[in-house]
Amino acid sequence: MDDMNELVAQRHKKLAELRESGNDPFSNRFDPETTTAAVREAYDAVTKDALEAEHRFASIAGRIVAMRDFGKAAFVHIQDATGRLQLYFRKDLLGDQYAQVKKLDIGDIIGVKGRVFRTRTDELTLEVNEYVLVTKALLPLPEKWHGLKDVELRYRQRYVDLIVNPQVKETFQKRSAIIKAVRDFLEAKGFIEVETPMMHQIPGGAAARPFSTHHNALDIDLFLRIAPELYLKRLLVGGYDRVFELNKNFRNEGISIKHNPEFTMLEFYVAYKDYRYLMDFTEELFATIANKVLGTLKVPYGDHVIDLTPPWPRIPMLESLRQKGVPDAVMTDRDFALKWAWEQKLEVKKDSSHAKIIDEVFKEFVEQYLVQPTFITDYPVELSPLAKRKPENPELTERFELFIAAREIANAFSELNDPLDQRRRFEKQVEAKQQGDDEAHAMDEDFVRALEYGMPPAAGEGIGIDRLVMLLTNSQSIRDVILFPQMKPEAQ
């Protein structure tokens, strides 16, 4: 901030004057006894006359967000972590101190003590007896009517966004409540929370390009994890039968309204259960969280109201295609599927596998219609290198993805625990990688070794927490639920 404009220069001048007069513009000598919300709660039901009779006092601290000066009196709104409250400064009460009130600016943080009363318009207000400036603001806040709208500024200077846009603060309070509700739910179900490495020597557990870094002392390349999956399953081998991890994953891919390079993922694993169990479990989880955080299962989202009331439809993937009029031959005949996809103007590569073509067709013909919660089940084995095959059809897997608001929000399957099959599937991925698929898995020998010791049958699920928060806060962009989304460097 080199450009010292007039507004900023004025504030620096006030700051210097305060220092000269012996007042510390960054004083730490104020400890509020209560909050604006607590004051409101305590006196909301108390009438004007009762307050006049009682003479109740309170001390609070907060940032000045509005000021109306009358010469010998002034009304000021301050905002603390819990809300806003009006203050009333009067010259006849404050005497000499009143001159300093005129030096206060919107944005300054002050501590006040005073009597609670109601104004003529019945607004609960604090009549200030003493006040102290605890933090001088050197930069002016955005305008009071429109707030801060410029999305670039909102993301880059989230601190300002949080000061002036109350709904932003609310969103992140809800985010915190959602995450707490998830933890409470899982702990009540007997899970333990674990932390597995963020830095992987072999990035695995998902199909994605990783960020790479380097460890100097060991002189090895490391990758920021794209998923914790393979480590969590090692813990099943170790004997924990219910584990979860709720933390960041990192994927070196495009940024969009649905994607941030680092994002928060919940993964959990249950021994001796399969993917059917997880569908019931997921319904209960979502319903519990929505009830706790929003108090309802009917969630407004964009133009829709999402109804989270269980049970949700469960549709096998191929069946979902049939329902949208995709011909049967697409499911059974790879060459026909390619031809048909091209006829539908889908961008499918000539050498794509049958499963990849089906996946494309699904995205185009089904996914965008899955507004209400829907489980799509039984994905082709090729798209699911870590999932268990269906006994009655080994080309399909015991897997589901949960779609809400036309977005994948959870992915789960019965975990493959046959080390020989796992090794073959890794080998197939390695082949794909050599043929240029840079999102294919690498071989993880240690993971196969772990399976060779024996992993109990288990079901595992991943839930994109950011997307869950988007859903429950009616946010259209992932950047609205991540406090500091990734941005390019600020232009100089």
Partner RNA sequence: GGGCCAUUAGCUCAGCUGGUAGAGCAGCUGACUCUUAAUCAGCGGGUCGGAGGUUCGAAUCCUCCAUGGCUCACCA
**Cβ of residue 128: shortest distance to RNA, in angstroms?**
12
Residue keyed to tokens 């607004």: 123
Give whichever of 268 and 271 is closer to RNA, judged by the CB atom: 268
Q: How far is the CB of 116 from RNA (least distance, A)?
A: 12
Radius of gyration in angstroms for the set of CA atoms belonging to the chain, rounded to a whole number: 29
- In terms of CB distance, is 10 or 213 closer to RNA? 10
Closest CB 361 distance from RNA, rounded Å? 12
Residue with smaller CB distance to RNA, 333 or 408:
408
Q: How many whole angstroms separate alpha carbon 378 and alpha carbon 188?
A: 29
Nearer of residues 283 and 480 to RNA, judged by Cβ: 480
Residue 237 or 386: the one with the smaller Cβ distance to RNA is 386
Q: Of 117 and 281, which CB lies nearer to RNA in the complex structure?
A: 117
Q: How far is the CB of 132 from RNA (least distance, A)?
A: 19
Give the residue with the Cβ less far from RNA, 111 or 464: 464
Q: Which is nearer to RNA, 203 or 271 (CB)?
A: 203
Task: Give me the count of residues in the chain.
Answer: 492
Closest CB to RNA among 141 and 292?
A: 141
Taking the C-alpha atoms of residue 166 and residue 252, their distance in angstroms, rounded to an integer, is 32
| Cβ 490 to RNA shortest distance, Å | 7
Which C-beta is closer to RNA: that of 213 or that of 256? 256
In three state form, how does the secondary structure of the chain look?
CCCCCHHHHHHHHHHHHHHHCCCCCCCCCCCCCCCHHHHHHHHCCCCHHHHHHHCCEEEEEEEEEEEEECCCEEEEEEEECCEEEEEEEEHHHHHHHHHHHCCCCCCCEEEEEEEEEECCCCCEEEEEEEEEEEECCCCCCCCCCCCCCCHHHHHHCHHHHHHHCHHHHHHHHHHHHHHHHHHHHHHHCCCEECCCCCEECCCCCCCCCCCEEEECCCCEEEEECCCCHHHHHHHHHHCCCEEEEEEEEECCCCCECCECCEEEEEEEEEECCCHHHHHHHHHHHHHHHHHHHCCCCEEEECCEEEECCCCCCEEEHHHHHHHCCCCHHHHHCHHHHHHHHHHCCCCCCCCCCHHHHHHHHHHHHCHHHCCCCEEEECCEHHHCCCECEECCEEEEECEEEEEECCEEEEEEEEECCCHHHHHHHHHHHHHHHHCCCCCCCCCCHHHHHHHHHCCCCEEEEEEEHHHHHHHHHCCCCHHHCCCCCCCCCCCC
Least separation in angstroms between CB 224 and RNA: 11
CB of 269 to RNA, least distance (A): 17
Q: Give the shortest CB-492-to-RNA separation in angstroms.
A: 8
Closest CB to RNA among residues 376, 478: 478
Tokens of 269: 């694993």
Least CB distance to RNA at residue 152 (A): 4
**Minimum gap (Å) between residue 264 Cβ and RNA:** 8
Q: How far apart are CB 67 and RNA at their closest, in Å? A: 6
> What is the number of other CB atoms lying within 10 angstroms of the CB of residue 389?
18
